[in-house]
Amino acid sequence: HSSKTSVGAEESTCEKQGWDAYKKCNACQQLFASNGTTKLDAIPYRPLSSHTPTEDPASKYLKSQGDCQNKAVYYKSCSVCEQKLTQTFNGDFGNHKMSTSWTSQNNEHFHACSVPGCDHTEDKAACSGGSATCSKKAVCTTCNKSYGNTLPHSFGSAWEYKSSDGHAHVCTFDGCDEHDTVKSHTSNIPAPTQTAAQLCTDCGYTIKEKLSEESSTPDQSSTPEQSSTPEQSSTPEESSTPEESSAPEESSAPEESSAPEESSAPEESSAPEQPSDSDNTGSGNGLLIVLIAVPAVLVVAAVVTIFIIKKR
């Protein structure tokens, strides 16, 4: 083994094993240690070395995206084999994450950053469009959110509210039935008749319906039937003034003086019984005449009797 070739040492990497320096016989390829005498069975390889970490902010090493509040996080990599390692490092801050939905505040709308802790806004503008009513605010045509204030009631000119207590103007906004101060009705006539109802001259409300043909007026005029005074006033029978004044009978007056008997007008005048006929019940005037005539006849009979007594 007189002729040998020296092979220099080679450093190991994370991908390839290195070796220590050694010698090789040119004739038989026998390997020897670097001293040239110690035989070797194989090349004296060294073990693989560790990875060589480096910070490469390439997208393939990104662990978490950065935003306006937090930096991006990357995995370290090997500078030799480019393998992603377990160690990490921080990158730069990222951009705002703007929401696509509108945020409404203080009658304005804008796009807000969705990152917690960030108050950045963009596209800010005043809300506009839409129509407010007495019960609802206007709705912005851009952000579709309500804004501003409600409006006062807008009362119409017609008397839309009509009731027994009066009439009033009703709010013209949809869905609102509020009305202003109720005013009293003004009647067109003092009272309804059989041909005309009592109406309000302002709103046309029917205060009272017209009277029907079956009015209570004819029924009330039943005084001839109700006034049973001829029957009750039995004064012609009870007032026995001619009979009680029997002084002529007690006195021994001659029988010739039968004038009192002839003047039996009270008995003949049976007028009080005549009104009880069903034919005369409807005649109020006839009853009145009877009521006046009966007492008059009684008075005349009494006067005649007294005159005859005194004559005797």
Q: Is the pLDDT of residue 209 over 50?
A: yes
Give residue-wise pLDDT tens across range 86-118. 999 999 999 999 999 999 999 999 999 999 999
Q: Give the separation between CA 277 and CA 281, rounded to whole angstroms.
A: 7
pTM of this structure: 0.47
What's the pLDDT score for residue 277? 43
What's the pLDDT score for residue 286? 60
Q: Is the pLDDT of residue 16 over 80?
A: yes
Give residue-wise pLDDT tens across range 39-60. 999 999 999 999 999 999 999 9
Helices marked H in 126-168 — which ranges? none
What's the pLDDT score for residue 300? 80
Q: How many CB atoms lie under 10 A from the CB of residue 182?
A: 14
**pLDDT-derived band of residue 74, with 50, 70 and 90 as boundaries?**
very high
What's the pLDDT score for residue 2? 82
- Neighbour-count burial for 58-86, b at 16+ CB within 10 Å, e otherwise: eeebeeeebbeeeebebbbbbeeeeebee
**pLDDT-derived band of residue 184, with 50, 70 and 90 as boundaries?**
very high
**pLDDT-derived band of residue 298, with 50, 70 and 90 as boundaries?**
confident
What's the pLDDT score for residue 211? 92
Q: Is the pLDDT of residue 278 over 60?
A: no
What's the average model confidence in pLDDT over 221-228? 41
Rg value, the chain, Cα: 67
What's the pLDDT score for residue 275? 43
What's the average model confidence in pLDDT over 182-197? 94
**pLDDT-derived band of residue 307, with 50, 70 and 90 as boundaries?**
confident
- pLDDT, the chain, mean: 80
**pLDDT-derived band of residue 280, with 50, 70 and 90 as boundaries?**
very low
What's the pLDDT score for residue 246? 38
The residue type of 228 is S
